[in-house]
Amino acid sequence: MIQVSVLFFATLKDRAGLQATSLELPQGATVRQLKAVLEGRFPALAEALPSVLVSVNREFAFDDDPLPAAAEVALFPPVSGGACP
């Protein structure tokens, strides 16, 4: 098993009801598996999880990327651009 720290930002923090949590996951767990665990623990995140931006140890990560032990995972809601002047 590995331990990871998860940080929630912006509206995800509001949905989760906290700023950070710690999770224990199986060795070799992926970002996708992390999202599944988060959905089970924080049902209010379910709608947002398919489109969140994920960083692992401050680098962008994708669903199939493995999570290293003691990883810092940050979740950000998607950002849409606005019109430029």
User: What is the pLDDT confidence band of residue 14, given thresholds at 50, 70 and 90?
Assistant: very high
For residue 7, being part of any structural domain is answered with yes
Q: Which CATH number does the domain housing residue 6 bear?
A: 3.10.20.30
For residue 81, being part of any structural domain is answered with no
Q: Residues 6-15: what's their mean pLDDT? A: 96
82 pLDDT more than 60:
no
pLDDT tens string 41-79: 999 999 999 999 999 999 999 999 999 999 999 999 987
CA separation for the pair 45, 47 (Å, rounded): 6
Q: How many domains does the chain have?
A: 1
For residue 84, being part of any structural domain is answered with no
7 pLDDT more than 60:
yes
Q: What single string gives the DSSP state of each residue in 13-44?
A: HHHHTSSEEEEEE-TT-BHHHHHHHHHHH-GG
For residue 82, being part of any structural domain is answered with no
| Residue 67 domain boundaries | 2-76
Whole-number pLDDT of residue 78: 82
